[in-house]
Amino acid sequence: MIGYAIVGCGHIAKKHVAALQAVKDAKLVAVCDTDPVRLEDFVNDEVKGYTSLDELLKDPQVEVVSICTPTGLHPKLTIQAAEAGKHVLVEKPMALSLEDADQMIDVCEKNHVKLAVVHPNRFRPAIAMMHKRLEEGAFGKLSHANATVRWNRNQAYYDQAAWRGTKAMDGGVLMNQAIHNMDLLLWMMGEAEEVSTYSATRLRNIETEDVSVSVIRFKNGALGVLEAAVTLYPRNLEESLSIFGEQGTAIIGGPTANWIKEWKFADLSEQEAAVYKEQIEADPFGVSGHQCMIEDLTEAIQENRTPLVSGVEGREVLKLVLACQRSADTGNRIKLEELEKNITI
């Protein structure tokens, strides 16, 4: 059994607890939060509570630290855990700058510990099926892709905590909500080469953007469009991922991207395509993405391999987000290789 500790006992921590309870080779052994009241719902005879990370890291039962704090704290806590010889599972985004992401990756490598970044949407049944079709070459030459996030995060959501919607600790719709969809675009389409983005803060009283539209050119020549908003009234409307190629069209959508809306391939008859749809309709949500992330990291530790969503992969989507933000701020198209040249490590 691999012993996990959760740092930060907010909303997302509950998903980690539920996921750990479902993973046979993993066990929650400790939690940490600076607020002792927040610890109360998590501590029991088998789970110790700490208000100091330094003290938690001395616990020999703790082998992995799951970091569930506001984003701005991720780099410092990851480095602290890695230097104590603990593996790290960090919520998205892994950091708010490439410099911090690079330091996190480097420290974990130097201390021979695993670093995994939580991008659980890759494990949705329909998304995994789409990726498999790509690997099989079923789309042929890719034309373009589209990711849409039309959600609602009202002002009350941001007013829950002072850090929400801030540049220093949180980020806007790109960094906080659409980063999952941007990760899926990269997973499906490969590396991004250039972006052009318009962003605005239209309806929410926050420091960061609440609506954004980007055009992306990928290194393989295909194009992409990302629309992301938390301004939808009165509730979440749609999340979708579409891929179009010379021999295939696939659209996954719904209020969350869990259902096949279009599934047409040159190598599939209508009856064969219907079988795929029926499989997804029977179980659109599958196993929790957080459970899959923890299962993979646990196996990666046991097998001494790289996690499926490593720190390097987490850095790639962070780079895309930052490129989009820079494009919106400057009004220029941004080449991602130039973004790399301009960072100071």
pTM for the full model? 0.96
* pLDDT at position 342 over 90: no
Q: Regarding beta strands 87-90 and 2-7, do their DSSP bridges make them parallel or antiparallel, or are they unpaired?
A: unpaired
- Average the pLDDT over 80-107 and give the result: 98
Q: How far is CA 40 from the centre of its chain?
A: 28
Helical ranges in 84-202 per DSSP H: 98-110, 125-135, 155-159, 179-189
Nearest-5° Cα angle at 326, 323 to 331: 120
Contact 265, 248 (CB under 8 A): yes
Q: Which helix (H) or strand (E) holds 29?
A: strand 26-32
The C-alpha atoms of residue 253 and residue 256 are separated, in whole angstroms, by: 6
Residue reference for tokens 């992995």: 64
- Predicted confidence (pLDDT) at residue 207 exceeds the cutoff of 50: yes
Q: Quick check: 345 pLDDT over 50?
A: no
Q: What is the mean pLDDT of residues 133-148?
A: 98
Where residue 299 falls among pLDDT bands split at 50, 70, 90?
very high
Map residue 196 onto helix, strand or coil. strand
Domains of the chain: 2-120+291-308 (3.40.50.720), 121-287 (3.30.360.10)
Residue 344 has pLDDT above 70, yes or no: no
Q: How far is CA 247 from CA 72, 139, 225, 244, 324, in A?
A: 43, 5, 20, 8, 30
Q: For residues 181-206, give the mean pLDDT.
A: 98
Scanning the structure block, which residue is given the tokens 């309806």?
Answer: 203
- pLDDT reading at 125 higher than 60: yes
pLDDT band at 154 (very low <50, low <70, confident <90, very high): very high
